[in-house]
Structure 1
């Protein structure tokens, strides 16, 4: 064993993993926006359209900065990203809390454009911080453990990321029920402090030489950097392919080849032979290698891109507005509106989405990988399955008339959203190749920004059209926990407040389902019959991931 390489179960390696888990816990709180968003809108007299714009700024921070964060962690390691994550999360959530506590100036009927822009900037920082944290944690963890433990350890990290919104929502509303300022303080401190711990303890620890892990270097390494994020996130569907020999490390991490040789010379020869395979693949003889302009004119890219727009737009719209949905259903059902009780229902929906989101990432990976390796089923066959889950979730949400039944729609939405990010990165590799996956997935990650902007803003405008200022009518008076000055506008019409937006998402997900069916059938035909659309496309991991 190399003197600088601690044992696999050494204190320093396990300590780095535990620190990574805490960092991941502080990185997924963008999904908790619905736990405080409605109260923020009420306090600052924000229209629901403007509230959705603030939510979208966090989405842009998550997905828009992922490619840059990936390159930075590849080049400089996790520490720079920990610094960025610390300041971004602290400034972002502290800034939102400051504007919430400050409220509106005396006599003002709404926020100035400058303050609104500052709120958008704060939302953007929370997204940037979450991306920096999860990329650092997954990158360091995957590089610190051998292939036999890599899927398990990175899976643990992603589990904490997926459960982040649930944990913070539960803790915040347990300690600060109805106190949004206290909850925002919890987010500011609770998300930024783990980054300090991560700065000192999260790092890539060299593997013992007995593990025989060979890492691409030089020119080949540039071709195989892979962002394991998004939303963020190369899932267990790729990570758990332990029957193969190349395993994705993490966000923008290297692809590692596990060799069975036991001497340094054998390892060098094994590495060289794999370089030959990579070179042959680049020439197009063993699998697809599509990037750049070729990607821009590739029909498969636009097919997957459009499907991703429809599905991620639906998921982010629901996740960002489930708090408003629960408020509308609750207000319509009770004779006296109690903000504390409404906050409990908001927190319950956020927790449900968070837990099922985590489960979806795990389940789809197991299903897709098992069927792919046992029955040679193309992973693209499950695109329609994921889209169908979205359709069912939105149909369920449309059918719910009472807040007590909203958990069903939230659970289905979280499951389908997690499944999307558990499957689509693997499909991207199958369709466009492994060498430039980082670049290709970066382009694919622009789809959530487009989809969420369209559908979330539509939701806000539809909700605004049904909203009104609260009145002391017997049907929906505001209890002592709020006042008309604090509650600028609200919708008391129940499902009618947002039903039209669900019609849009049902239509979008149905289109995605039809496109997914087409993609699956076409890939089955390509696999069985070869040349269907002018050339058979052999999944690249079947060519390059097999042991030589």
Structure 2
């Protein structure tokens, strides 16, 4: 059984998200500026979205073992190549950033990003297909374990790869370690998965479905029990958009896309740059308990982000299913819920946007040293994962299951657009406040304007979520 294998590979798939630990070292030794650092991590973050549909198709056609092997190969090439580039700049003792080396670093992280999406899809779909009877639990478990990956690797980084004299991460040996571990695990998991029998997928043909529908109609009681009256409403089945042209003509699509652009774009900006945000602030007071829990503030923020991501994925999914059950339709055209519908699923979008707004407001008014930065990491992690967790169910409720994969992939172009917008706003403002001769900006002025803009977009996202909530009142 793949039970101990897919979680193992999923746990090793998030090495890219330890980049905030590498940023201070790259700035100090490779002389990379904030725009350089932002471009490198964006290459990894953004390379995932355009190919998600392709990777899903490869997994469906050739199985998870192929994607696992490809993911490992990309990881070895990416992490190994990145360590070589960093080593060359350190050995040469460069005083100015090498553009050629910078471009090669960008390519390396692009490969790492591709490796991440191959690995993530392989783990997710392997668990979902081998445990189809418990697909919600299986997929949720894989997502939660993947969210723990940055915590796993950042803990290893702080314990074994930190320079005790400078407090900086030894990037070269750490990336060699990442290349070795991900390559070894992917090879092992790929070989084992290839030996397993293919999962049994039972699909009923159209005649069987028609027969079942007839039988259900014949055995359906004429009177609905009183206990079920509140959960069943007689309406016509909705007509879902069958083409992309029909989809983009709907107002709901654009409202949802703008929400995802603002919330996911701003969140991924924080996730990508939490290391330099932390470096911009003065060290925490020596008596702070929180400050003493880690030798690096950046490492602490990565761990908090990972923990918040995991908790949100574990809690929000089952909670949404319980208080906002997805409607189903009986052959008679009656819409029914498996249990009482307590609140709209769009309330989770409103809650995520509200939490992110409060998080950014707290950063703007209450953060003056590194010990106070914990709220940014936790608030961003909770909001980001809560949004991602409810997106598939909202898409299926809005536009049906038949084209869920297509619609989900299409919606992912929202963060694909939003993340570079927010990230380059942050990078350009930070670079404009960096003193001459320095590579890392110091002080609150490095990011105050960026987060003021993010507060406005987050509040606007709250309004969008309420608009969607009102438009689909008592339906989703």
Query: Which TM-score tier does this pair reach, normalised by the shorter chain?
Result: 0.7 to 0.9
CA offset digits 1:488-523 (Å, max 9, x no partner)? 522232x22211111121111111111111111221
Shift of 1:269: 2.8
CA offset digits 1:392-423 (Å, max 9, x no partner)? 22122222111112112211111111101111
Specify whether residues 497 and 272 from structure 1 end up closer, same or farther in structure 2 by C-alpha distance, changes over 3 A only.
Answer: farther
Specify whether residues 341 and 379 from structure 1 end up closer, same or farther in structure 2 by C-alpha distance, changes over 3 A only.
Answer: closer
> 1:310 — aligned with what?
262
Shift of 1:345: 0.9
Q: Is the 8 A contact 1:144 1:205 kept in 2?
A: no
Specify whether residues 206 and 96 from structure 1 end up closer, same or farther in structure 2 by C-alpha distance, changes over 3 A only.
Answer: closer
1:447 aligns with 2:414: yes
> 1:200 — aligned with what?
191
CA distance in 2, matches of 1:171, 1:162: 16
Residue 425 (structure 1) aligned to one of 382, 392, 413: 392
Specify whether residues 433 and 22 from structure 1 end up closer, same or farther in structure 2 by C-alpha distance, changes over 3 A only.
Answer: same
CA distance in 1, matches of 2:149, 2:373: 21
> 1:411 — aligned with what?
378
Shift of 1:469: 5.0
Where 1:490 maps in the other structure, the secondary structure is coil
Shift of 1:322: 0.7
CA distance in 2, matches of 1:464, 1:302: 33
CA offset digits 1:350-407 (Å, max 9, x no partner)? 0000010111112221222111134423312321111111112212222211111211
> 1:263 — aligned with what?
none
Q: Is the 8 A contact 1:381 1:521 kept in 2?
A: no
Residue 269 (structure 1) aligned to one of 204, 208, 220: 208
Q: How does 1:152-171 map to 2 (within 5 A)?
A: 152-171=137-156
> 1:144 — aligned with what?
130
Q: How does 1:135-534 map to 2 (within 5 A)?
A: 135-147=121-133, 149-178=134-163, 179-202=170-193, 205=197, 214-215=202-203, 269-270=208-209, 273=212, 286-290=237-241, 291-330=243-282, 344-373=296-325, 374-376=339-341, 377-398=343-364, 399-469=366-436, 488-493=438-443, 495-524=444-473, 527=474
Where 1:17 maps in the other structure, the secondary structure is coil
Specify whether residues 180 and 112 from structure 1 end up closer, same or farther in structure 2 by C-alpha distance, changes over 3 A only.
Answer: closer
CA offset digits 1:29-77 (Å, max 9, x no partner)? 2322212123223322222012111111111222121111011111111
CA distance in 2, matches of 1:205, 1:364: 33
CA distance in 1, matches of 2:199, 2:107: 40
Q: Is the 8 A contact 1:20 1:202 kept in 2?
A: no
Shift of 1:97: 1.3
CA distance in 2, matches of 1:146, 1:70: 17
1:36 aligns with 2:2: no
Shift of 1:189: 2.0
CA distance in 1, matches of 2:450, 2:212: 54
CA distance in 1, matches of 2:86, 2:441: 21
Where 2:324 maps in the other structure, the secondary structure is helix
CA distance in 1, matches of 2:215, 2:177: 52
Where 1:450 maps in the other structure, the secondary structure is helix
The TM-score with structure 1 as length reference comes to 0.73
1:98 aligns with 2:98: no
Where 2:472 maps in the other structure, the secondary structure is helix
Q: Point out where structure 1 has 5 or more consecutive residues left out of the alignment.
A: 1-12, 221-267, 278-283, 335-339, 471-487, 528-537, 540-548
CA distance in 1, matches of 2:214, 2:182: 41
Specify whether residues 343 and 294 from structure 1 end up closer, same or farther in structure 2 by C-alpha distance, changes over 3 A only.
Answer: farther
CA distance in 1, matches of 2:188, 2:123: 12
Q: Which moved more, 1:315-324 or 1:424-433?
A: 424-433
Shift of 1:107: 8.5
The TM-score with structure 2 as length reference comes to 0.84
Q: Which runs of 4+ in 1 moved over 4 A?
A: 104-109, 203-208, 270-277, 331-334, 340-343
Q: Is the 8 A contact 1:48 1:463 kept in 2?
A: yes
Shift of 1:172: 1.6
Specify whether residues 275 and 449 from structure 1 end up closer, same or farther in structure 2 by C-alpha distance, changes over 3 A only.
Answer: farther
Where 2:37 maps in the other structure, the secondary structure is helix
Aligned residues: 430
CA distance in 2, matches of 1:144, 1:274: 27
Specify whether residues 126 and 107 from structure 1 end up closer, same or farther in structure 2 by C-alpha distance, changes over 3 A only.
Answer: closer
CA distance in 1, matches of 2:448, 2:389: 29
Q: Is the 8 A contact 2:261 2:418 kept in 1?
A: yes
Q: Is the 8 A contact 2:283 2:370 kept in 1?
A: no
